Structure 1
Amino acid sequence: MSMGEFWRIFQNEWIKLIRRRRFVVVLLLGLALISFYTYARYHEDQNQKHYNDPATQIQMTDSQIKRTQNQLDTDKNLTAEQKKLLQEQIIGMKQSKEQIGKESLQIPPTKADIEQKIEHIKSSIALLLPDQAAEKGQLQIQLVLAEYQLTHPPEIQRNSLSSWDAIQDFLGVGAQLFIPLLCVLLVADMVSGEQTGGTIKLLLTRPASRVKILFAKYMTAIIGAICIHIIILGVLAGGLLAVFGTHGATNPTVVGVKYEKVSVVKDDGRIGTELAANPTDAKVISMRSFTIQSILLTLLSTIGMCGLGFFCSVLVRSAAVSTGISIAVIIIGTIIINAMRGTTWLRYFLTPHFDLPNAWTGSLSRNFGYPMSLSQSLIITAVWVVGMYAIGHFIFKRRDVLA
């Protein structure tokens, strides 16, 4: 395949893609959603700030004290035991009021405090029994975090939502459902749309082979989806950083954790299983670094999302049917993943690996109850992508377009 010929075919497919109404609709849907999401998180943050403000909490506590004291002074039907209970409640609320004032100072831990915490965690790990693998795994993760904080002091959260956390929350849901749906809406009629519209016959009269035409369409679909999501995620990150600021950028995030099922003896003496974290390959990075790399991983996963939509587009002749099948696979796949957590064979499905950031942190491994890594998720995705394209290539090359 000469590059010049392929480039001309690609240019033609790209012009057709951006001229389609669906391209604009997908882009506007994405921008509308992140606008609603940003506003919702801003509204939530303002409510949280108001509720967590020390002045508001002290005012609420004062009101509770006054109501309780008024009941104690005016209710003549109270028994001696009830009066004693109300007096104890008043004392407890006054102590809580004093504690609120102390916590509002938010004094960060010193290096000595962190070192003391590290020694305490190490001592706790040493005291664990061999069958306490789950407890040991959690303590080892806490140890990794504490050691990171020795050289990277944690930032104090001033009762405000972190933009980095908001981006991660969006990616967690978006990579499983929203972004894949946008991908399939964009590409699920790349081939079937030509057949529905009757333009496939004209397209195949070109001197270029079917192999070149299909590959050009495939690359157009992937690059088009990546471009749209660069715009969407870029606007999301920019908007959230503008609204919430950059605080929390150096806070730690643990990646590379793997989970596996281990046998434990329960309190009633029976043998059971529970998930234990294996932090052997774990490392700690800043939230800023994790967020940037998560966005890049999400963009990478669009190749798998587009592969699914493109495969359905080649598989069936109807544009509506291919789009419907793609959407159904994504929605049903998401439901199955959430309903059948702990099922190890689900790791071979494609849809769980759309969320590559969760594969990196170990959340995907915990859901499967199997020690999976990011590299394994990438390999499974690559096998699916290559397999779907190979099958689609075989079907498209042998299909009778006149039928």
Structure 2
Amino acid sequence: MLEFIRIFQNEWIKLIRRKRFIVVLLLGLALISFYTYARYHDEQNNKHYNDPATQHQMMDSQIKRVQFQLDTDKNLNEEQKKMLQEQLEDMKENKANIGKDVNQNPPTQADIQKNIDELKASIAALLPDQAVQKGEMQIQLLVAEYMLIHPVKDTNHSLSTWDAIEDFLDVGTMLFIPLLCVLLVADMVSGEQTGGTIKLLLTRPASRVKILFAKYVTAVVGAICIHILILGALTGGLLAFFGTHGAENPKVVGIKYEQVNAVKDDGTIGQQMAAKTEDATVISKRSFAINSMLLTLLSTIGMCGLGFFCSVLVRSAAVSTGISIAIIIIGTIIIEAMRGTDILKFFLTPNFNLPDIWTGDFSRSAGFSMELNQSLLISAVWIIGMYAIGHYIFKKRDILA
């Protein structure tokens, strides 16, 4: 055990001294900075656009333009004048209503209970072929029951820190975070062979098994540390810009989706994804954001496993890095191109997005059922399989030749 710890310490020192470690960290922090500022800038623009004073100015401009056309255009017939006059009256009415719904009070307990009763009655009245509508109403019912027990005081519909974290992880877990992982670890072994230091490393009294495992543990720990820093910077920046409002708003997790024959919006019957809420639960958005980041750190093990496997598979650091990046990008493209294909769940890259799998959003968009426990099991099989193959290759390869 002491020998393994010494090897790990040696590998850790080599990892943090590499330029690639600093580059990956700076890339992550730079993207987080751009993302945080972009969301803040968009939110400020939305606030300015939705501000009653701005809305009044825009409406005044439209009213003046229509009034000017009525007063000056001599070619208008009576029907056109009547139409413009009605449009003018509608604009004035809309102007008078601007700002009236800005400070709406949150729904009372009686309002929520009434909504729950109406939803239950509507669900009971649905036909068997209306499974999609039933699933949507059951989700609304779960949210209403949560709000009955946990009154949500924040009715502000502006962007919150927790929404921004969710949006980032939705995209980041499929492309950005895996790319950072493979950039960091894809030359852990091949880099030693390219630089010729592998021969010096193998002169240590430790076995190849311990050396390889120490490298893998170092890669995983290094990637997790970088992503803790990145996600910490993301959370801190968003909290500084948006504060903590919306933390107790509801988020439904554990929804399962399955394909059913149901009535579509156009009245025809076809295959659709219907929600099953038997195992679903509702948590606060703050809890969801925290747990989503923890799930992302967990999926980092699989991302590192992919990059590390490529590093063992080939001798060139550049080639192993290129293969790893290509797999991530191609995997993302395949997910988009093969939506509805059930076999896709057994690939590695779709299982990186654990937060979306947890909520059921991934199943709904992908067109096939996928559960969190199932995803974790598939990822574990991939990680063990890749490491076992890499272990066999590393042990049998004539590295000293």
TM-score (norm 1): 0.97
1:159 CA displacement: 5.5
Provide the secondary structure at the position in 2 that maps to 1:390: helix
Q: Distance in 2 between matches of 1:266 and 1:33?
A: 40
What residue is the counterpart of 2:382 in the other structure? 384
Q: Distance in 2 between matches of 1:158 and 1:147?
A: 20
Tell me: CA distance 1:67–1:144, structure 2 relative to 1, closer, same or farther (3 Å): same
Mean CA deviation greater in 143-152 or 52-61:
52-61
Q: Distance in 2 between matches of 1:133 and 1:158?
A: 32
What residue is the counterpart of 2:258 in the other structure? 260
1:110 CA displacement: 1.3
Q: Is the counterpart of residue 162 in structure 1 residue 160 in structure 2?
A: yes
What residue is the counterpart of 2:112 in the other structure? 114
1:156 CA displacement: 3.6
1:271 CA displacement: 4.8
What residue is the counterpart of 2:38 in the other structure? 40
Structure 2 counterparts to residues 280-299 of structure 1, below 5 A? 280-299=278-297
Select the residue among 205, 208, 218 that pairs with 2:206: 208
Equivalent pair of 1:347/1:368 in contact (CA under 8 Å): no
Q: Is the counterpart of residue 273 in structure 1 residue 271 in structure 2?
A: yes
Structure 2 counterparts to residues 136-175 of structure 1, below 5 A? 136-158=134-156, 160-175=158-173
What residue is the counterpart of 1:224 in the other structure? 222
Select the residue among 381, 392, 395 that pairs with 1:394: 392
1:133 CA displacement: 0.5
What residue is the counterpart of 1:49 in the other structure? 47
Structure 1 residue identity aligned to 2:4? F
Structure 2 counterparts to residues 1-400 of structure 1, below 5 A? 3-158=1-156, 160-264=158-262, 271-400=269-398
Aligned residues: 401
Provide the secondary structure at the position in 1 that maps to 2:260: strand
Mean CA deviation greater in 261-270 or 154-163:
261-270
Tell me: CA distance 1:144–1:395, structure 2 relative to 1, closer, same or farther (3 Å): same
Provide the secondary structure at the position in 2 that maps to 1:253: strand
Provide the secondary structure at the position in 2 that maps to 1:263: strand
Equivalent pair of 2:340/2:366 in contact (CA under 8 Å): yes
Q: Distance in 1 between matches of 2:338 and 2:153?
A: 37
1:200 CA displacement: 1.0
Tell me: CA distance 1:268–1:103, structure 2 relative to 1, closer, same or farther (3 Å): closer
Mean CA deviation greater in 350-359 or 105-114:
105-114
Q: Distance in 1 between matches of 2:363 and 2:49?
A: 36
Equivalent pair of 1:155/1:247 in contact (CA under 8 Å): no
Deviation sequence 1:219-261 (CA, Å, 0-9, x none):
0000000001101100110111011100000000000001111
Deviation sequence 1:165-185 (CA, Å, 0-9, x none):
111111111111011001001
1:73 CA displacement: 1.6
Mean CA deviation greater in 159-168 or 173-182:
159-168
Deviation sequence 1:181-207 (CA, Å, 0-9, x none):
010010000000011111111111111
CA RMSD between the two structures: 1.5
1:97 CA displacement: 1.9
Structure 1 residue identity aligned to 2:129? D
Deviation sequence 1:41-78 (CA, Å, 0-9, x none):
11111101000112211221122112111211221111
1:265 CA displacement: 5.4
Deviation sequence 1:330-349 (CA, Å, 0-9, x none):
00101111222221110001
Structure 2 residue identity aligned to 1:191? V
Q: Distance in 1 between matches of 2:3 and 2:22?
A: 28
Provide the secondary structure at the position in 1 that maps to 2:100: helix
Q: Distance in 2 between matches of 1:157 and 1:79?
A: 47
TM-score (norm 2): 0.97
Q: Distance in 1 between matches of 2:157 and 2:61?
A: 22
Q: Distance in 1 between matches of 2:153 and 2:26?
A: 36
Equivalent pair of 1:57/1:100 in contact (CA under 8 Å): yes
Structure 1 residue identity aligned to 2:321? T
1:371 CA displacement: 2.7
Provide the secondary structure at the position in 2 that maps to 1:102: coil
Identity of aligned residues (%): 74
Provide the secondary structure at the position in 2 that maps to 1:103: coil
1:385 CA displacement: 0.4
Q: Distance in 1 between matches of 2:283 and 2:376?
A: 21
